[in-house]
Amino acid sequence: MHLLRRSILLSPAVFFTISADNVGPTYPAPTDLTSDDSLVRKAWDELSSSFDTYLEKKPNGSPLAGTEHVTFSSGLFSLHDPAAAPQLQYHYTAPEIANSTNGTNHVDGDSIYGMASVSKLFTVFTGLLELTDAQWNTPLSDIIPGLAEYANQTLEGSGLAYDTRWNEVTPWALANQMAGVARQGLPATDTLISGFGPGVDPVADLGLPPVPLSSLGPCIDLTCTEGDYVESVSGQPPIFLPWTSPAYANNGFILLGIAISKLTGKPISKIYPEAVFEPLGMSSTFAGSPKKDADIAKSVVLPYFNNTYELAWPSGGLYSTINDFAKFGTALLNSTLLPADLTRKWMKPSSHTASLTYAVGAPWEIMRYIHPDTGKVTDIYTKSGDSGMYGGYLVLIPEYNAGFSLLDGSSNLTARSTVQYVIADYVANAMVPALEAQAAAEAKRKYAGTYVSEDPKLNSSLTIAINGATIPGTPANALSITRWVSNGTDVLAGLSLRLLQSIPSGSAEGVGSGKVAFQATDNPQFASYTASGADSLGVIGPFTGQQTNYDWLVIDATHYGGYGFNLFVFDVDTDGRALRVRPAVTRATLKREA
């Protein structure tokens, strides 16, 4: 029986496996994040008290050093527990905002912050709603007329070898940070300089030649017209050829905004509210800084709060609250506006980075969280914002149908930019394991037990336990089948299989509402071939190493009578409690014993 055949690499020496498995969940997504029994609520309360403790005592050497200078709001949200968004939040108002004459003096879930580059996520999502596949893949030189003209122009006197290939740069390449276009496009102000530390004079301090401002073309800051912007950036040398390597580019998103606007015939400032903010009831989210007094009164107003650089809004000029972020994140997880299949397709990496734990999508910054206890990998889809006095994160964790957000602001730029990553790690390190543990606890309650044939003449049954996998080399954490009797035969003969959710309940085009499909596996599973330590063939390399990532390769390979041997489909009630199971190959239905 192929399913039970031991992997050729499985030797008694290989014990430390990592439950990476198929990409996706080990358990069905947790549904209780907020009750007094929820491990997620408990972890959130502990996280909150660690922030409180730092802010009260400011102990030396804490990683949270500097947090006292940063006003921030952070919160969890979940598709399955709407109470999470209002209840699991943390807010801190730094003295400068507590004392501010403009805007709010006390932040909460409705406080409006600049979101900086989280805006890029809204820009791509808006494009997904508004553009066709053909438009996404049209060369920019066909969309923005000026570019064709400047297609072969390099910066005067640069002697540089490459021009940007505007006929190969597409909106989809820009959305994926894979166009290789110049990053900044333009300096932030009407000077020649960007990206150096404060106060650096490139001529006096670094020996660079004086360059006249006029050499930058007709546009020297973001107040210029779209046409002047395009003319000015079109000749800047590329970083890479298109689709070479991810390269973060604000300029790319300014150009993407121009392209979306040209393709739809609508100003970008109108597209966001019409396509996204209004349909999702995001009444405190704005393209550009809020204008109405009532909205400004709810805002975290710091110097440079106002943002009238409409050209740059698609890159970094949107404003929002964490309550609206929760609405947006939940809507993405729910596929409320974009069909579910397109949402799944969108929420994938399009490129590796040089790190095994960090990939890039459109424009997802995808971190691979490694659970410290089991080594399981959970993919976290994020978009960061980090510019000047504002920043934040929108984070989605598809396998839990949950996510979290952070918005922060401070006139202390050093503190803000450092602290926001520390805060995000505090949240991730506390909440990802808690979501996994809660999913496991719910899976135990909802699935564990014995399932027996209702036909008394048929001796068929299935016993499911949590963390019961006993096969050497397979990870222990999962639902598992510890005994399976089919018509009087003990199928597993004392072994056990892990059960991994493959198609969730209620999937529009899945097995249907009220049914949950699982795939059984007994494969060892490693996060990389170097992690496997596999040595039974006397070699560690990528090709033998494929077999340390067996689940995706052999899934559904073993069939009988048209059904996968590994397929188990459960009927669940509205609370997700299993009532019956069908081991597909047996064609029998087994009822869960009370």
Ligand X SMILES: *[C@@H]1O[C@H](CO)[C@@H](O)[C@H](O)[C@H]1NC(C)=O
CB of 347 to ligand X, least distance (A): 16
Identity of the residue, 85 or 174, whose beta carbon is nearer to ligand X in the bound complex: 85
- Pick the piece of the chain touching ligand X (CB under 6 A) from 132-140, 146-154, 462-470, 499-507: 146-154
Which of 16-45 are b and which e, b meaning 16 or more Cβ less than 10 Å from the residue's Cβ? ebbbbbbeebbbbbbbbbbeeebbbbebbe
Beta carbon of residue 261, minimum distance to ligand X (angstroms, whole number): 23
Angle subtended by helix axes 413-447 and 39-57, to nearest 10: 160
Minimum CB distance to ligand X, residue 488 (Å): 4
Using rule CB under 6 A, residue 98 touches ligand X: yes
Which part of the chain contacts ligand X (CB under 6 A), choosing from 5-13, 99-107, 213-221, 540-548? 99-107
The residue with tokens 């006929």 is 167
Binding mask 284-313 for ligand X (x = CB under 6 A): -------x---------x---xx-------
Cβ-based nearer residue to ligand X, 71 or 547: 71
How many other CB atoms sit within 10 Å of the CB of residue 359? 20
Report the residue number, 336 or 589, with the smaller CB distance to ligand X.
336
Q: Is 513 in the site for ligand X (CB under 6 A)?
A: no
Q: What is the DSSP string of 414-469?
A: HHHHHHHHHHHHHHHHHHHHHHHHHHHHHHHHHH-EEEEESSTT---EEEEEES--
Q: Figure out which of the listed residues 488, 494, 538, 542 binds ligand X, where binding follows CB under 6 A.
A: 488
Measure the CA–CA gap between 495 and 501, rounded to whole angstroms: 20
Q: How many other C-beta atoms are found inside a 10 Å radius of the C-beta of residue 544?
A: 18
Q: How far is the CB of 585 from ligand X (least distance, A)?
A: 11
CA distance 409 to 31: 32
Task: Count Cβ atoms below 10 Å from residue 68 Cβ, excluding itself.
Answer: 17
**Residue nearest to ligand X as judged by C-beta position:** 66
- What are the angstrom distances between the C-alpha of 323 and each of 195, 271, 282, 420, 589? 33, 21, 9, 18, 44
Measured from the CB atom, the residue of 366 and 497 that comes closer to ligand X is 497
The C-alpha atoms of residue 346 and residue 260 are separated, in whole angstroms, by 17
Give me the helix-helix angle, 119-130 and 250-264, nearest 10°.
30
Q: Scanning the structure block, which residue is given the tokens 């999702």?
A: 280
95 binds ligand X (CB under 6 A): yes
Q: Minimal distance in Å, beta carbon 589 to ligand X?
A: 11
Q: How far is the CB of 387 from ligand X (least distance, A)?
A: 17
Give whichever of 208 and 508 is closer to ligand X, judged by the CB atom: 508
Nearer to ligand X among residue 202 and residue 237 (C-beta): 237
**247 in contact with ligand X (CB under 6 A):** no
Of 222 and 527, nearer to ligand X (C-beta) is: 222
Two tokens, residue 3: 């399913």
Beta carbon of residue 376, minimum distance to ligand X (angstroms, whole number):
27
Q: How far apart are CA 34 and CA 48, in angstroms?
A: 14
Q: Provide the H-helix boundaries in 448-587.
A: 529-532, 542-545, 550-554
Q: Which residue has tokens 């960007």?
A: 194
Binding to ligand X (CB under 6 A) within 326-385 occurs at 330-331, 334, 336
Q: Which of 137, 459, 513, 546 binds ligand X (CB under 6 A)?
A: 459
Contact window for ligand X (CB under 6 A) among 2-10, 194-202, 314-322, 485-493? 485-493
Please identify which residue in 458, 476, 511, 554 interacts with ligand X, judged by CB under 6 A. Answer: 458
Task: Give buried/exposed letters for 506-536 (b at 16+ CB in 10 A, else e).
Answer: eeeeebeeebbbbbbbbbbbbbebebbbbee
- Integer Cα distance of 149 and 220 in angstroms: 20
How far is residue 225 from each of residues 220, 222, 304, measured CA to CA in Å?
A: 10, 8, 21
- Is 203 among the residues that bind ligand X (CB under 6 A)? no
Q: Token match 């150096």: residue?
A: 196
Q: Please, which residues have CB within 8 angstroms of residue 557's CB and are 6 or more apart in sequence?
A: 2
Q: Shortest gap between Cβ of 444 and ligand X (angstroms)?
A: 25
**From the list 220, 485, 520, 585, which residue makes contact with ligand X (rule: CB under 6 A)?**
485
Shortest distance in whole angstroms from residue 480 CB to ligand X: 18
In whole angstroms, the minimum distance from the beta carbon of 417 to ligand X comes to 10
Rounded to a whole number of angstroms, the minimum distance from the CB of residue 120 to ligand X is 23
Instruction: Work out which of 35, 49, 152, 191 binds ligand X, going by CB under 6 A.
Output: 152
Kindly state the greatest CA–CA separation across the chain. Answer: 93
Beta-carbon contacts of 94 under 8 Å, excluding residues fewer than 6 positions away, are: 68, 69, 70, 71, 410
Q: How far is the CB of 214 from ligand X (least distance, A)?
A: 23
CB 432 within 8 A of CB 571: no
Binding part of the chain for ligand X, among 12-20, 468-476, 482-490, 512-520 by CB under 6 A, reads: 482-490
Nearer to ligand X, 106 or 345 (CB): 106
Q: Cβ closer to ligand X: 49 or 459?
A: 459
Please identify which residue in 137, 191, 487, 546 interacts with ligand X, judged by CB under 6 A. Answer: 487
In angstroms, what is the minimal distance from the CB of 14 to ligand X?
A: 31
The H-or-E segment that residue 125 falls in is helix 119-130
For the segment 398-417, give every residue that binds ligand X (CB under 6 A): 412, 414-415
* In the complex, minimum distance from the CB of residue 68 to ligand X, in angstroms, rounded to a whole number: 8
Contact 572, 514 (CB under 8 A): yes
Site for ligand X in 519-578 (CB under 6 A): none
CB of 442 to ligand X, least distance (A): 19
Judged on CB neighbours under 10 Å (0-12, 13-18, 19+), 253 is buried
- Binding residue for ligand X, selected from 4, 23, 129, 148, defined by CB under 6 A: 148
The number of beta carbons lying within 10 Å of the beta carbon of residue 339 is: 12
Q: Which of 151, 247, 347, 441 binds ligand X (CB under 6 A)?
A: 151
Q: State the number of binding residues for ligand X (CB under 6 A).
A: 30
Site string for ligand X, 47-76 (x = CB under 6 A): ------------------xx--x-------
Nearer to ligand X, 60 or 101 (CB): 101
Q: Given the rule CB under 6 A, which residues bind ligand X?
A: 65-66, 69, 79, 95, 98-99, 101-102, 148, 151-152, 291, 301, 305-306, 330-331, 334, 336, 412, 414-415, 458-459, 485, 487-490
